[in-house]
Amino acid sequence: MFALGLGARSYEEGLLFYARWNGFLAAYSDWFTRIDDVSDVARAKTQKKVGVMLTLQDSSHFRTPDDVQTFFGLGQRISQLTYNFNNRIGSGFLEQRDGGLSVFGLSILQRMEQVGMAVDVSHCGDQTTLDVLDAAKKPVIFTHATARALLPGHLRCKTDEAIQRMAKSGGVMGIAMIRFMVRNSEPVTPEHVLDHVDYVTKLVGVEHVAIGSDLDLVGNPNAVNGGGFDPRTQPNFARYQYHEDADGAITIRGLNHSQRVFDLTEGLIRRGYTDAQIAQILGGNAVRVLGAIWPA
pLDDT number for residue 228: 63
pLDDT number for residue 185: 94
Domain boundary assignment for the chain = 56-293
Specify whether the CB–CB gap between 66 and 107 falls below 8 A: no
Specify whether the CB–CB gap between 165 and 128 falls below 8 A: no
pLDDT number for residue 149: 98
> For the whole model, what pTM was predicted?
0.95
**Listed residue (253, 231, 240, 271) closest to 187, CA to CA:** 253
pLDDT number for residue 227: 58
Specify whether the CB–CB gap between 145 and 173 falls below 8 A: yes
pLDDT number for residue 218: 76
Mean pLDDT (10-residue bins), the chain, 296 residues: 89 97 98 97 96 97 98 98 97 98 98 98 98 98 98 97 98 97 96 98 98 84 61 92 92 91 96 98 98 93
pLDDT number for residue 232: 86
Q: CATH for 56-293, among 3.40.50.720, 3.40.50.920, 3.20.20.140, 1.10.510.10?
A: 3.20.20.140
